[in-house]
Structure 1
């Protein structure tokens, strides 16, 4: 039994502490799922401007932390960084090489909150009314 403890201590010294749910942390930019308030995909972060959902959550949760995907351009992240400064929220850019995820932004608490719906839905473009053919516009 004592030998097993020594091996555990040696392995921890060599490889570091064992991480709980490493796949989940990799997917959500180093944050556990139960701490997340809101998640945006890379595509949503790259859109022009900032999402109003993020700002409303920032207003309500001033102790939250923003984690940004560092592989995105500065222009895309700049608006969210300004929002974070405006509300006094800390933000971090994560750009580790082993991080392969579609997540662009995570707004999270430092403790577990177990929120069910964390993904922000994409804005659906309004369908434009169909144009009349040119010949109907001339002869009608």
Structure 2
């Protein structure tokens, strides 16, 4: 490797070391996309279906680690932390105030695995309706009582 120029040294001093795929690392809480097993958005941290998907991924990939977005309120990450403890998966809360990301949690390896579909599908209104239609009739009746008019 050749000598570094004075300009390179100054730029590194001002801006820090150059990072490979910096925008990708910001989005996926410090890791690369090709290392991710499953990614949950901030909104999915509170959805049962997304937690079920995360648990299945933890069962199938025990040698991973869980990265949690430190910009999300800790009360919304309790379930994810409990799952990680249950399956002996280490977890880290990643706080980077300068990086904006829609990702709330990432289950990742230390090496590339190149899994095609890493995102849990968003639960849409019609899926919520069909899910609600399959609930217990007693629960439906109670919900109807407390529904605003």
State the TM-score, normalizing by the size of structure 1.
0.80
Name 1:137's counterpart in structure 2: none
Name 1:135's counterpart in structure 2: none
Once the two structures are superposed, the pairs formed by residues 1-140 of structure 1 within 5 Å of their partners are 4-7=3-6, 10-11=9-10, 14=13, 15-47=15-47, 51-123=51-123, 124-127=127-130
Larger helix percent: 2
What 5-or-longer segments of structure 2 have no aligned partner? 134-149
Instruction: Work out whether residues 40 and 50 of structure 2, in 8 Å CA contact, stay in contact via their aligned partners in 1.
Output: no
The number of residue pairs the alignment matches comes to 128
Within 1, Cα distance between the matches of 2:112 and 2:40? 19
Cα deviation, residue 121, structure 1: 0.8
Cα deviation, residue 122, structure 1: 2.2
| Structure of greater Rg | 1
Partner-residue secondary structure (3-state), 1:67: strand
Q: Which runs of 4+ in 1 moved over 4 A?
A: none
What do residues 13-45 of structure 1 show as CA deviations (whole Å, max 9, x unaligned)?
624332001001011111100000001000001
Instruction: Work out whether residues 37 and 118 of structure 1, in 8 Å CA contact, stay in contact via their aligned partners in 2.
Output: yes
Within 2, Cα distance between the matches of 1:13 and 1:52? 43
Name 2:147's counterpart in structure 1: none
Within 2, Cα distance between the matches of 1:6 and 1:96? 31
What 5-or-longer segments of structure 1 have no aligned partner? 130-140
Within 2, Cα distance between the matches of 1:16 and 1:27? 19
Query: Mean Cα displacement is larger for which, 39-48 or 91-100?
Result: 39-48
Within 1, Cα distance between the matches of 2:7 and 2:86? 46
Instruction: Work out whether residues 12 and 18 of structure 2, in 8 Å CA contact, stay in contact via their aligned partners in 1.
Output: no
